[in-house]
Amino acid sequence: MDILEGLNEAQAKAVTASDGPLLILAGAGSGKTKTLTHRIAYLVQEKSVWPTQILAVTFTNKAAKEMRDRLWKLTEGASSGGFVPRNYMPWMGTFHGICVRLLRQDGQAIDVPSNFTIYDEEDRQALIKQSMKRLGISDSSLKPRAVSGAISSAKNEMIGPDEFSASANYPFQQNVAKIYQEYEKQRKEAKALDFDDLLLETVRLLKNVPEIRQKWQRQFQYILIDEYQDTNAAQYQIVRSLVNEHKNICVVGDDWQSIYSWRGADFKNILNFERDFPGALVIKLEQNYRSTGAILAAAQSVISKNKERTDKKLWTAEGEGTPVQIHQLYDEVEEATTIASRISTQVAIGARKPDEFAVLYRTNAQSYTLERALLQARVPYHIVGGVRFYDRKEVKDVLAYMKVLYQPSDRISFSRIANIPTRGVGPSSLERFLTWQSAANLDIIAALTRVDDADGLTPRAKNALRNLGLILDKFAAKVSEGNEPSGLIDELISAVGYLNYLRDGSPLAEDREENISSLVSDAKTFANLADFLEEAALMSSSDETSKEPSVTLMTLHAAKGLEFPVVFIAGMEEGIFPHSRIYQAGPSELEEERRLCYVGMTRARQELHLTHAASRLQFGQRGYNAPSRFLEDMGSAVMQTEARPAYERDYQDVYHDMFDIGDVVRSAQFGEGEVIDIDGMAVTIRFNGGQTKKLNVEYAHLTKL
């Protein structure tokens, strides 16, 4: 097979470039994986380089497998039937996978045993808990997950326990420093490495043992690194240590798509490549094979506003295509229903299939209105890189609390929340309590308030259960008084300390808190707890049709590397996208948000729709966000749909004196129905589907027909 067949001029040049350092700046959709694969094939077939002399590093096992399969087809597949031997291209894999092999072979030189075990995140947190217990540090005051995150960040920056301790100025850092020391002691005694150690110990091995470094430099005559913009400090040091005097290193990447600084990636590694390797050849892959000219023009206009970037000009031979469309909607519900309606219409007329659409958003919490709208429109969907809104742990936890308030005999829901947040009620204590509660013929809340009468429980467990009972009893009275569900949730999670429980210092803590805020916002639609819980149950039990073609929902981060014929990016508003943290973090954070916008836009092949709402319910409050600055960055490259009038009055004023008994209305959530009762802002509606709901008219998004 001709290795250069099907390559454009720039790709062919990158494949056949002479020895020495090579930087391939590969724009979105420019065929970087194809180019990298063909370059390796060229080295093997045309330059007679042994596969064992080639180190090829990717960032995921999936990417490594894809590259290995492609390479086999290029070089051997035609005569072998396509079967890829297990030992083919033995030094192709992820950084962590490569490091494991190096350490297994030579780690003993730095006292790393060849039979070390590898700790995953769960293992690491378990050892951190043990270390905290040894130090007398309570896990209620300091979350093991937060400690794990801090230790991981330190290791990614190659900061050891002694250095970390020397720079610890605040109580949290000082406690982490103590735990870090103890954790490392216990880890070494266990002859184990965590994932960060795989990189750190490899750095130490190559730095401190020259003969081993030189051994691997002789072995790896050619080094190729994919997604170089995503390398962290330790990975950068490993690469630098393995490059020999010939400097046959080829890195491929796109600084415009660097979106992982929050997990240690430093896009300046790719910006500094020419400084690190003077005389490096730079080849730009600028022909895009994915998107239309209109999409590329808009995306290019956005990224051009960044100051720290390389210079590229993407182009396509596929024509301009449909203009990028901006849709200004009334609120988050209209945004979701508009997206769902446009998708369902296209599917209904046979123009497109559901799996040709993707809806992207900045935070996971935005998915709930989109999920509801797609369910209402009967459009199948699936979520990539996450779970459906009502299946998320924190959402299920809060709903379990509400279920116990509504039905105090619900033992399953109570079992879920008895020790969440942690209050000293272990499995055996819970079992003894439930056994006594059943024998005493009391509902859960009544039993909690009388738990002192129970046998077989420790004083600590009794105290914890009694205190929980007092809280639940108070809120059960509020339910009986008809308090709205949003207020109940807000007050209860504060009373039991649930938000503090979520704030564990992990990268996901913010997402979890935003999910709870979205749940509170959703609850505002309902005037009573019964209707809210009924709807939540229906939402959570709805079939997830993963086996049939379905719309893809995902965050912008999860979308990297993917592509779809039609892409919607929802929530293009200041404070949402770009995220509100830019106001504290400064210009570097804004530039990363802009790169994230570029990544999202370039996922679209044929159509790109950008939506923003004039009003949005967030954290239980209705807010009014300005359109995202990224929309203005696009300039004349986009088409604005008819804009909605700006808000001139309070949101609830729209609904004053609007409805009468007998009116036919449409709800975004439930369809059409008839108003059968009005009680202040609470309107009872009998819907055509047979459901009767009592809704808060201020938030229910009702239209009179």
Distance CA 640, CA 637 (A): 10
Active-site option among 37, 58, 257, 310: 257
Tokens (6 digits) for 361: 């958003």
β 54-58/222-225 pair status: parallel
In the three-class reduction of DSSP (H, G, I as helix; E, B as strand; rest coil), residue 94 is classed as strand
Is residue 60 part of the annotated active site? The answer reads no
Question: Which ranges in 503-641 belong to alpha helices (H)?
Answer: 509-523, 529-541, 582-585, 587-601, 629-633
Helices 485-495 and 509-523, packing angle to 10 deg: 150
Q: What span, in angstroms and rounded, lies between the C-alpha atoms of 119 and 192?
A: 7
Q: Where are the alpha helices (DSSP H) in 481-550?
A: 485-495, 498-502, 509-523, 529-541
What is the torsional sign of CA 651, 657, 661, 663? negative
Distance of alpha carbon 319 from the chain centroid: 33
Q: Report how far apart, in Å, the C-alpha atoms of 489 and of each of 72, 405, 406, 483 are.
A: 57, 11, 12, 10
Q: How far apart are CA 58 and CA 74, in angstroms?
A: 19
Q: In the annotation, is 618 catalytic?
A: no
Q: Given phi > 0 = left and psi -120 to 50 = alpha, else beta, which region is 22?
A: beta
Residues in the chain: 705
Residue 329: φ, ψ to 5°: -115, 170
Edge-first strand order for the sheet with 692-696 is: 692-696, 682-687, 671-679, 664-667, 702-704
Q: Rounded CA gap, 691 and 676, in Å?
A: 12
Residue 257 bears catalytic tag: yes
Q: Which of 16, 33, 217, 346 is catalytic?
A: 33
- Rounded to whole angstroms, the Cα distance separating 238 from 622 reads 50
Distance CA 426, CA 434 (A): 12
- Annotated active-site residue in 11, 32, 187, 592: 32
Question: How far is CA 22 from each of CA 1, 67, 477, rounded to the nearest angstrom?
Answer: 25, 19, 71
Neighbours of 467 (CB within 10 A): 14
Dist CA 421 CA 202 (whole Å): 39
Of 106, 226, 331, 332, the catalytic one is 226
> Does 603 participate in catalysis according to the annotation?
yes
Q: What backbone phi and psi angles, to 5 degrees, belong to 489?
A: -60, -50
Question: CA-CA distance, 205 to 98, in Å (whole number)?
Answer: 13
Q: H helices within 32-90, ranges in order?
A: 32-45, 61-75, 77-80
The DSSP secondary structure of 139-188, one letter per residue, reads TTTS-HHHHHHHHHHHHHTT--HHHHHHT--SHHHHHHHHHHHHHHHHHH
Known catalytic membership, residue 185: no
Q: Is the dihedral of CA 251, 254, 259, 262 positive or negative?
A: positive
List residues bridging with 383 in a β-sheet: 553
Tokens 């291209």 sit on residue: 89
d(CA 354, CA 702): 28
Set 76, 196, 227, 397: catalytic member: 227
Direct distance between the N- and C-terminal alpha carbons of the chain, in angstroms, rounded to an integer: 66
Note if 512 is an active site residue.
Answer: no
Structure tokens at 14: 């990158």
- Tell me the CA distances in angstroms from 118 to 15, 195, 392, one per residue in order: 37, 7, 29
Q: Rounded CA gap, 543 and 351, in Å?
A: 25
Catalytic pick among 187, 603, 616, 694: 603
Tokens of 397: 């936890």
The residues that are catalytic are 32-33, 226-227, 257, 603
